[in-house]
Amino acid sequence: MSTVLNISSYQFVTLRDAPALRDRLHAEALALGLKGTVLIAEEGINLFLAGPAEAVRSWVSMLKSDERFADLSPKESWSDAQPFKKLLVKVKGEIIRMNHPTIRPDERGDAGRAPAVEPSTLLRWLDQGHDDEGRPVVTLDTRNAFEVDYGTFEGAIDWRIDKFSEFPDAVLAHKDDFKGKTVVSFCTGGIRCEKAALFMQEAGIDKVYQLEGGILKYFELTDGRHWQGDCFVFDEREALSADLRPGQAAR
């Protein structure tokens, strides 16, 4: 039985105390023997941690005791060994670099997040070939090209970007392709497709959703239908299959 709990999560929330928060989260994770990466910026937090289940969940409870992170809902998977070599907690300019500082989900006020579609709904749409309004559904992979090569949704749009900061220009070059269609942007855990969907909305694409929880949540809550291959992850497991176990590339 696998004994190492792996979690990933993010939250866009304004953090004015990033350096002090970094010190506190690092000390708590270090004391619990956790390894992985936690990125903190004024726009929010992005984390990937692993360790014994009790220790991981203790750290999450500590984090959620801060009301700013009360709604954090980490995605979980298991491994036989620790997939990270060290603990890294850093303050960055952005928790996911897009080079568009005006795209701030935490500062949209009443506008809120970009609309999200649950994994079960996307599965149903893909099964039937259209959304509930009868519009054709296209999936848009917002990840880097090398990640896409491990696996993606059947027929997904892949612009072969090398870094996420290239995504906005790709949207502007292809936005007319989405007329009359429903677009679902997706990524590994949700953070890139959150920013991607907001940018696409601001670019004038009228029917855009993000996949709630990203690929990993889709794997967790569905049977993985319509997915081909594995999902690249940024740790020593390298890739996960639809059952959230190490994929073919890691065997």
Are residues 9 and 73 in contact, defined by beta-carbon separation less than 8 angstroms?
Answer: yes
- Cβ neighbours, 10 Å, residue 64: 15
Given the residues 5, 96, 187, 193, select the one marked as catalytic.
187
Cα–Cα distance, 2 to 60 (Å, whole number): 20
Per the annotation, the verdict on 187 as an active-site residue is yes
Q: Residue 70 gets which letter from DSSP? A: T
Are 160 and 249 contacting, i.e. CB atoms less than 8 angstroms apart?
Answer: no
Token representation of residue 89? 């907690």
Q: Which residues contact 27 (CB under 8 A, 6 or more apart)?
A: none
Name the phi and psi angles at 15, rounded to 5: -120, 105
Those residues whose C-beta lies under 8 Å from the C-beta of residue 122, and which sit 6 or more positions away, are 137, 139, 184, 211, 218
Q: Catalytic residue numbers?
A: 187
